Structures are given as structure tokens and as C-alpha cells.
Chain A
Amino acid sequence: MYVAVKGGERAILNSYALVDQARRGDPSVPELSLDQIRQQLRLSVDRVMCEGSIYDPELAALAIKQAAGDLVEAIFLLRAYRATLPRLGYSLPLDTADMQLFRRVSATFKDLPGGQVLGPTYDYTQRLLDFSLAASGAVAEIDASDAAPEVGPVPRVVDLLNHEGLIETHEPGAGDPDPRDLTREPIAYPADRATWMQNLARGDEGFLLAMGYSTQRGYANSHPFAGEIRYGMAELVIEPEELGFAVSIGDIEVTECQMVNQFGGSKSQPPQFTRGYGLAFGASERKAMAMALVDRALRADELGEAVEAPAQMQEFVLSHSDNLEASGFVQHLKLPHYVDFQSELELVRRMRTSGAPAADASEPAGEAA
């Protein structure tokens, strides 16, 4: 009568087949192509590349297809693939002042050199379901007279403020160490800013959004202004040692956000504006903005501000931002815990028979793991 839990091979293999079928859905409906995903689900592709930490729209599209549109699962697939790739070299820092811009807005100045460029944004669409898309959407045309010439390099807003010395600068000093590569070395606390930026860049958009949002609601208010948001193409440059000069290896789409924050000055600095910085692959404005808010909040300690709110607590933010770590550990609760649970059963029975008082509040043992 005793039947051991034989999950075994068969069940696992069958689960593969079921996943395949569920992903494909009704076979009478044409199958999605990677091109379709790249072209028509481009914002999903951007998010998966960003949190998957690899700029490859083709692979991201494949991951999205394989994950049936579950973006966290797609990020997982991409990261596991990425882990096996060799490191061929490191690029020079991106020069975002030199970007070809699709979009560039500033909330701090009405007009500024380079102008405000709205670009492809959902911001001022009225969020009404467009039933014409349910059939086949005709694509709107832009009046030829409005078609702006491609926007070339325009100065960054923070650089403009910088002329007056009103905003802090972060010129890397001589001997500025190479940033540590978080995908190769574990984080160590306290982490420096270069390290936490990497963490945030890979961090879950939803988590960063909630953390950033919390800073606007009184948990570490930093009085942010969206100094500038720019989205466009940035040139990727490497300088191989054997060459001795820089070579462009292509362009990547990025969104950059510079938050400008009020700061009353401290023991060592006069009152000036401070900055929070966000950068994400593709058109990922929500992510870049949230990242900039969290980046600024994490600087509390450096700027002599009281560390009181969750978004300012480095270990809290950085240890919980990664959706792979979070998703894996939350979902590992599905794994068998017979042994732990048996131990707890035995304990509860023993406590009941010995008549010891029951636990009133906090947990007696750790949680299952």
C-alpha cells in the first residue's frame, strides 16, 4: 500500500511535452516568429535584454517565445545562457552625450539646447483600447513637414547646470579603479556606487519601481526632478590592448535618466543639486527613472542623510532586487520539505504532550528552506 513519491523521469519528461503544447496553443493559429516578437513586442524584448544583462534582441525574442511571454522566465533563460559566455573584453564607458536621440525630454527647463523631443512615447496617448488593432492596424503616418531631422548629439541637461557649478560632478579621479563585475564576483557590503548601479541595472523593474515610488511618498524623500530622459542609440567602443586605439563595434539602444535632486549641503559641500542616475537597455523609461530614484536614495549615507527608509538601506535594496534570486527562492517552496516538516510535526506534538506553553508571537524555528 505504500507508494513512494516517484516523481521520476517520466513525469518530468511529460511535463516538458505539456509545456511545449501549452506554449504553442492552438496549432491552427500561425506560429509566432522571432521577427514578429522583435518588431512587435519590442518593449518586452528591451526589458528581457536589460534584466537578462545581455544586449541581443534575437536571443531575447527567442527567450520570450520559449517562455510563452513570461518575461521573468525569459530573463532567466537569457541569464543562464549568458553565464556560459566568455569575456572577450570590456567596452569603454558609453558616451551618452554623443547619442543619436529618438527622444529627449527635460522636466526642469522649458527649452534648452537641442530642444524637447517627444519621440515614440505612450505618455500622451489616451489610454483607450484601439479596437482597430484587433483587426489589422494601419500605421499612422507622420506629416512630412513635421518629420524632424535626426537629432544629433545634444548636450546633457546636467552638463548645462554644471556650467554654473550648481550640480555635483563625478569626474573619475586618476587611478579610478575598474568597476567590479557583479556577474563574476559576489557583492560585498558596503557596496560602492558602481557596484550598486550594476545591481540596479539588472534589477527587477517592478521592484525598482516600488522602491522608487516609496521615496516619493515620504520614505526617503529626495525632492527629485527629471532633469533629463534621453532614449536613442549610443556607440559602443572598445580599445583592444593589442591595437592601442579605440574601435567602434556598433550601436545599442539605451534610455538614460538623470534625476536632479535638492540638497541642502553638508559638512563638506555647499548647497547644490545632486544626481540620481539610471540607465537601461532599449526603451525602458520606467526602469531608468525608477533606478535613478533608487540610486539617489542609496547615496544617503555618502551625503550625510539619515538612513531610515527601505530605499536607502543598501543591503535591503541590493539583496532583493534580482528577480531570478527572488523568483527562485520564493518558488523553491514547492520543493519537498518532508524532512523539515517532519521535524516540526514532531516538535509540535512534543510540545502539546509536554504541556509547554505554545509560542505566543514569534516563530520558534526558522522558516522552511
Chain B
Amino acid sequence: MTEDTSPILRVEGVVKYYGARAAVSGVSFELWPGEVLAVVGESGSGKSTLLNSVAARVRPDAGRVSFLTRHEGMVDVHAMSEAQRRLLARTDWGYVHQDAVQGLRMNVSAGANVGERLMALGERHYGRIRSEAASWLERVEMDVARIDDTPATFSGGMRQRLQIARNLVTRPRLVFMDEPTSGLDVSVQAKLLDLLRSLTRGLSLAAIVVTHDLAVARLLAHRMIVMKEGRMVETGLTDQVLDDPQHPYTQLLVSSVLQP
């Protein structure tokens, strides 16, 4: 299987300027099928810009992002037509926003939120859409009885679960997550992290998780990248980076997390 011999995503020398300032300068990495990569750093380190460049939400000024498509092998996502890119974004990719409001339709029911991607792909059977939505609500440990309620009536943690279900319904192979647990209560965060871990493992999802929280990286990610001022200062296996940081900046990050 090609998926075992080729990375699912290859990022080469991505550069993104905002004015004269390089928000991301020359970042390269590869992601393998089923692998979870954490991108950590302080705010302003360029990690969100990197995520958006890789997820083709902003166009980088230089560099290349290739994705292993199902039928055409590695394809440069920024060279795709908008139609291809949008199709990719609602089928093989997922994007979990920090603020669930941005990733959900707040005034339509949970069922429709989950079913939207199916309908966009041509599913025209109400009953099937609904039962598929219900099964995904179950998988993200939501009460299926809430299927007809709108996210406006949901708690922050539930909204985030719903956003995840909405993304996973098309069985994407790669999910981008931008601070998926921040802004939630600590106990809610812990449960959500458990869920994310079991989903990524269970579905062998590849994922890129941007987070400022090293605990999130520790729990979810196989590998991690440490960003500072737009540059990748350290990368490696998560446990290795966190337990034996090499770069002074990483050491600082790790030590600050150890403080109460």
C-alpha cells in the first residue's frame, strides 16, 4: 500500500510574510498516515500561520505543500484549482477551529451540522443522513437525543465534540486542529483530549494539532515541532523533545510548564 511507503503530507520550505515580517520562514516536515504531529510555541510564534498555510487557508509566499490524494498521488495543494481544494477540504480533510462557533452552523440542528458534508457530496436520503449523524454523535459521546437541537443550546465542550463529528463524518485522512481544547474548563479539556486520542488512534487519522499547551502535545502527539519567531527550532518524538529538550527555547517552554 502506498500509504505505508509515502508520507500523507509533505511540507517543503514554507514561507509566509506579513508585511516585512516573516510569520513563517522556511518550515519543512513530513506527516505519515495515522501520525499526530503537535506544533507548539508561544502566541506569535507562527504556528497558526503555519497551520493555515498547510491547510491551504492562506497562500504561502514560498514553499510547497503536497498531499497524498487517493487517486493522483502527491499533489501540490496550492496548485490545485479552487474546486479541487474545496472538495478536498470537505472530504479528505477536516479542520477543527479553536472557537467552535467558527466551525459550526449555530442556527441549524446538530444533525444537519454533521450531515452537511454528506449532503454536499450528493447524499439525498434524509433517513440515511440522519442515522449517520446519530452514529457520529454517539462516537463523539454526545447524547443522540440532542440531534435536533441547535449548537446554540450546547455547552462549549459539546460544541467542540459536535465540530469534531461534523469533520469526521466523511472519514477524512487528515485533520487540522487549531487549539482544539483551549478555552474549555480543565475537566472538560481532559475528557475531550481522551476522545481525540481514541478517535485518532481508532480511525488511524493523521492530524496536525496546534497548541500552546505542552500537555496536549504530550497526550495526543507522536511527534512535535517547536516554533519560535516563525522558525522551527526543534522537532522530534514528543516524549524525547519534552523529556530532553535540546534547544534553549524548548527548555524554557518545558520548564515553564513544570512550574505550578
B107 touches A267 (CB 8 A): no
A268 CB within 8 Å of chain B:
yes
A169 CB within 8 Å of chain B:
no
Q: Hey, which chain A residues are within 8 Å of B19, CB to CB?
A: 266-268
Instruction: Report the bound CA distance from A189 to B19 in whole Å.
Output: 25
Specify the chain B residue showing the minimal Cβ separation from A266.
B19
Q: Hey, which chain A residues are within 8 Å of B21, CB to CB?
A: 267
Q: Can you name 7 extra interface pairs (CB under 8 A) apart from A267-B21, A361-B107?
A: A266-B19, A267-B17, A267-B18, A267-B19, A267-B20, A268-B19, A362-B107
Interface size on A, residues (CB 8 A): 5
Of residues 10 through 34 on chain B, the ones whose CB sits less than 8 Å from some CB of chain A are: 17-21
Q: Hey, which chain B residues are within 8 Å of A267, CB to CB?
A: 17-21
Q: Hey, which chain A residues are within 8 Å of B20, CB to CB?
A: 267
CB proximity of B25 to chain A, nearest CB, Å? 15
9 A-B pairs in the complex with CB atoms less than 8 angstroms apart: A266-B19, A267-B17, A267-B18, A267-B19, A267-B20, A267-B21, A268-B19, A361-B107, A362-B107
Task: Return the CB mask of A350-369 against B: 1 if under 8 Å, else 0.
Answer: 00000000000110000000
Q: Hey, which chain B residues are within 8 Å of A266, CB to CB?
A: 19
Instruction: Report the bound CA distance from A153 to B20 in whole Å.
Output: 42
Instruction: Report the bound CA distance from A267 to B18 in whole Å.
Output: 6
Q: Hey, which chain A residues are within 8 Å of B17, CB to CB?
A: 267
Q: Hey, which chain B residues are within 8 Å of A361, CB to CB?
A: 107
CB proximity of B102 to chain A, nearest CB, Å? 14
The 6 nearest A-B residue pairs measured at CB? A267-B19, A267-B18, A268-B19, A362-B107, A266-B19, A267-B20
Specify the chain B residue showing the minimal Cβ separation from A362.
B107
Instruction: Report the bound CA distance from A268 to B18 in whole Å.
Output: 9
Specify the chain A residue showing the minimal Cβ separation from B108.
A362
Instruction: Report the bound CA distance from A268 to B19 in whole Å.
Output: 6
Instruction: Report the bound CA distance from A268 to B107 in whole Å.
Output: 39
Specify the chain B residue showing the minimal Cβ separation from A268.
B19
CB proximity of A360 to chain B, nearest CB, Å? 10
CB proximity of B58 to chain A, nearest CB, Å? 14
Instruction: Report the bound CA distance from A361 to B107 in whole Å.
Output: 10
Instruction: Report the bound CA distance from A124 to B18 in whole Å.
Output: 48
CB proximity of A286 to chain B, nearest CB, Å? 37
Q: Hey, which chain B residues are within 8 Å of A362, CB to CB?
A: 107
Instruction: Report the bound CA distance from A362 to B107 in whole Å.
Output: 9
CB proximity of A119 to chain B, nearest CB, Å? 44
Of residues 248 through 269 on chain A, the ones whose CB sits less than 8 Å from some CB of chain B are: 266-268
CB proximity of A12 to chain B, nearest CB, Å? 44
Specify the chain A residue showing the minimal Cβ separation from B20.
A267
